[in-house]
Each structure stands twice: as C-alpha cells, then as structure tokens.
Amino acid sequence: MSWSSLWPSRRAFLSDERGVTGLVVAFTLTTMVLMLLSGIDMIRVHMIKSRTQAALDAAVLAAGHDLSANDWQQQGRTYFNANLGNGYLGSTVSKALAFSSKATASGDLVTASATVTVPLVTAAFLPLASFDIPVSNTAQRVVAGKLELALAMDNTGSMVDDGKLVQMKQAAKSLVTALFGSATTGGNVYIGLVPFTETVRAGRDSSGFVHAAWLKGGRPAHYAGAADWGGCLFERSQKGLFTLDATTPAALPFEDWAASHYDWIASWRGGSWGASQPPPAFSNCGPGGCNYVSNGGPVNGTPPRTDRNGYYGCTQTPVTFLSSDPSLLNANIDAMVANGSTMISSGMLWAWRMLSPPWRDPVIGWGSATLPKDPATTLTKAIVLLTDGNNAPSYVMPGGGWGGGSAYYMLGPYQGTPQSSSGSATNANGNILFAVPTATATAPIHVTQGGDPDSTRAAADILTSACTNARAAGITVFTIALNTDGSVSDNTRTLLSNCASLPSYYFPVTDAANLTRVFAQITSALSELKLVK
C-alpha cells in the first residue's frame, strides 16, 4: 500500500470533529472544579487568618494587662484558645503561641506570635497539601491623655517589719518606670511623693525649697528662721474648729510644727504616770533638741533628746512635688525611711492638696506656675494611699521649750470637754491625744467627738472627709491596706475600702511581696494597652 493511498484517511481523521466536545467539557469541568476549590481554599485561608489574628489580638491584650502576674502568658493563651476555637475550618496550630515582653523608653511592649496550618482542598490537584499562616502583633502600654498622680506612702516605724518598706519602694519604682515609659510625649505624666507618718514634711520639699510663705507672718513661729524649720505643719484651726481641707495657705496660713516626744515616760515609769508623777519639764533647749528633766535632774541620768530641726513626729522624708523626672522620683523613693507613728489622713490630705489647682503658685503655692493643672477631660488626677497600720499618733507636747505652740495635730472639730487620761497614747483604739499647756505642766488629754477617750470617730471622720472631698474634686483614689501581721483593724480596712473610688480600687494585701503586682494593676487602671502592629 502506498502512502498516497493513506492520505485521504489521514485527512479525514484530522478533520473529524467527533469527540472534541467531550474533551473540551472534561478540560473545562476540571478547570472549573480546580478554580472552585481554589476559591474555597482562598476563602478558608482568609477566614482562618482573620480569626487567628483576632484571637491573637485578644491574647496579647489579656497577657499584657498585668505583666507582673506569674501566669500572664497563660492568661493570654486562654484568651487565644477561647477566641480561635478548636480546629476552626480544619486548621491546626502548628507553631505554638509565644509571648515576649520588653520595657522600653516609650512603654512596655508585649509581642505575640503563632502559626496556623490550613489543609487545602486542592491537594488532589496540586502538589501543595497545606498552607501555613504566620500571625503576630505587638501591644504597647500608653497613658491616655495626661496624668497627675500623688503617691501617699506610709513611712511609719512598722514599715520596717516583714520587708514592707523594701517591697513598697520596689513596687512604687516599678509604677514610676511603667507610667513614664508609657508617656508617648513629654509632659504627659507628673508624679508626686507624699511620705507620711503622723505628719507630712510638706513645708520643706525634697528639692530643699522652704515654703515659708505658707506660715503665719511668712516665718516660723517657734524658730529663729526658716533654716531651722523641719517643714511639718500644724493643721489650721479657727475658733476651736479645725480646717481640714485643701484651703490654700494664702487664704488660711499654717503654723509650723513644734512638738516634743515623751512616750518614753510610760516605760521608764513602770507603764503609767499621773498626778504623783507628772510629765517632765524641759531644759537646755538648743539646736540639737531639749533635755527632759524630772524632780530637778535628768531622768535615769540619761536625758532624752528630741530632733529639734524636724520636731518629733515630723516625717523624716520630705514630699516631692509633681515631677516628670523618673530618675528623681525613684531616687527619692529609695530615700524613704521608716520612723514615727501613724495618722493616715495626713497622707490623704496632703496628696489632695498636691493635686489641687488653687495651690498652683510660684510663691504661695507649691512653687509652680503651671502645676497642678485645672481639671480637663484629657487629664486624670489620682491618689494612691498605702498604709500598714491604724491611726495612732504618739504623745507630743506642743511648743516644747520653743514657744506656746498650737493644738496637737488635726483632731477634727472640737466637741465636748476633753477627758484626762493616762496610759497609752491611743488606749489601743487608735484614739487621738491632745496636749494642752496648763499653768504647771503639759498633760495629755483626749479630744474626740463627744470627748469619749476611747472613740476613734475623730480620726475616722478626718480620713473619710478627706477621701470624700478628694473624690468630689475629680480625683481617682486607690487604697492599699498592707496587713502582713493582721494589725490593720477591721475599722481601718473599712475606711480604706470606702475611701477608694471603686470597690476594685481597694487592695487588701497580706504579703508585702504582692505589692508589685498591686501597683501593676494600678498602672493598668491609669493607662491602656494599644495594638501598634
């Protein structure tokens, strides 16, 4: 057979269109199915990625809420798992969720990452069986708007017990570092320090500035000059009523604190004294203090002395006015020492005054022409009040050998006839004692509402009033009862709980090591986490 004889058959075969439709249909259907499955995969990948990213966002915000918590990462994982779900659209977490945190100059950063694997329905048509989706994000803590914060911190003698002072310093410095790190622009955050015992050293601040303009006549009443004044103040009274509020010194000046301690007499005289053994007189008062004498000679041959430059009962550590310098604040926190007795309302009152705009004056105010600022929607004012004890100021004698003095410390409105007393300064009930000069000696008497020597109402009312008025001025109040040994009474804990702006802003602490976490929670309340990546 010749090739020429096959040509017609070949030509017929090549021109035959029978069966082409089947091939086209098969190819088209295959392509359409592949496109459909690819579309399904694309939708699944998009949905899984969106859900995973949302779950990761929730996780990083939950984890970063309290970085001081031991389980902060576990909290984040819990949120991640709850929001992602198990096997969502057939996906699996192929690279476990991981967190990291870092303190930076611009604020705490919390980063999270994970990888989710999606099995592809196109695997039967393509060599790619699955697709990995890596997700990550970063959150940063920032202060919302501007912040003025006063830390009123107990510096009494009992703070040396159970590591309380050390832990308080560490926690406070952590708060300072976190808040200033979260301020995205300069001048957003100002923090002041108000160390308190039964007084607050407000008249001579940590910079050495002496607020003599706050005093009657512009100078101390009990010393030759301002250089000898420790900086503590008597609360102001008019016609027997104490003015326990944020009235400015320009409207109502203070008197410089002048008091001498004689609590030692209780132990040196067998735990009690009365008419047969009156309190000692003073002699030889000089720059270093005064000698106590009894029956014409020094008691036990060792005359006790008082701290004349600061007066007994005057808090050793001075206040630090609102500052935007975290290094200065942390150094002054480190400088705090524990010594003295407790009057909780002293810390609350002076913290309130530090944030009160009428005290803004370069001469007769806090020394600043710009701080504290007026209330504004973008400004948060807050107080953190921490104490480890109950109201229990010590025995004092007004004036000592330096002058007539003034009524002992803030006692609330004078009501009733003071009652004579012997024994402890507080009758174990946190009652306030009042030393009143007489013609022959100075004896302690109770001044409380109604004159009840065992009442704690005067001290409680002062604190309650200060808290109420500060909150009414728009100040957010956080309170901490540092009750490591059970000595903080039920009454004091109730006062502190009621003082806080919200129930969740009161923190009962039984282990000083937990203070850092408490201060971290306060930091969280005063700032917010924002997703930045």
What tens digit of pLDDT does each residue of 274-284 get?
A: 333 334 444 44
Write out 486-504 in H/E/C secondary structure: CCCCHHHHHHHHHHCCCHH
Helix axes 326-334, 164-181, angle to 10 degrees: 180
40-49, 189-198, 286-295, 436-445: range with highest mean pLDDT: 189-198
> Per-residue pLDDT for 388 more than 90?
yes
Q: How confident is the model at residue 238 (pLDDT cuts 50, 70, 90)?
A: low
**Considering only the top CATH level, what class is 143-200+315-391+457-533?**
alpha beta
User: Strand 189-196 and strand 146-154: pairing?
Assistant: parallel
For the stretch 250-269, pLDDT in tens is: 999 988 876 544 333 333 33
Task: Count CB neighbours of 274 within 10 A.
Answer: 12
Which candidate, 363, 414, 387, places its Cα nearest to that of 509? 387
Residues 379 and 190: beta-carbon distance below 8 Å? no
For the chain, the domains span 20-141, 143-200+315-391+457-533, 236-246+257-311+393-455
Question: Residue 362 corresponds to which amino acid?
Answer: P
> Per-residue pLDDT for 368 more than 90?
yes
Q: Is the pTM of this model over 0.85?
A: no
Residues 494 and 456: beta-carbon distance below 8 Å? no
C-alpha span between 157 and 453 (Å, rounded): 25
User: Residue 341's pLDDT is what?
Assistant: 78
Q: How confident is the model at residue 396 (pLDDT cuts 50, 70, 90)?
A: very low
Q: Helix, strand, or coil here: 238?
A: strand
Question: Between residues 102 and 454, which one has the greater pLDDT?
Answer: 102
Q: Which residues contact 119 (CB under 8 A, 6 or more apart)?
A: 90, 91, 129, 130
The whole-number average pLDDT for the span 415-426 is 34
User: Residue 13's pLDDT is what?
Assistant: 57
Q: Quick one: tokens of 147? A: 């912040």
Average pLDDT, the chain: 76
Cα–Cα distances (Å) from 263 to 216, 382, 410, 440, in that order, read: 29, 36, 19, 19
Q: Quick one: tokens of 249? A: 């010194």
Residues 119 and 132: beta-carbon distance below 8 Å? no
Query: DSSP class of residue 137?
Result: E
> Per-residue pLDDT for 351 more than 50?
yes
Which candidate, 154, 115, 269, places its Cα nearest to that of 515? 154
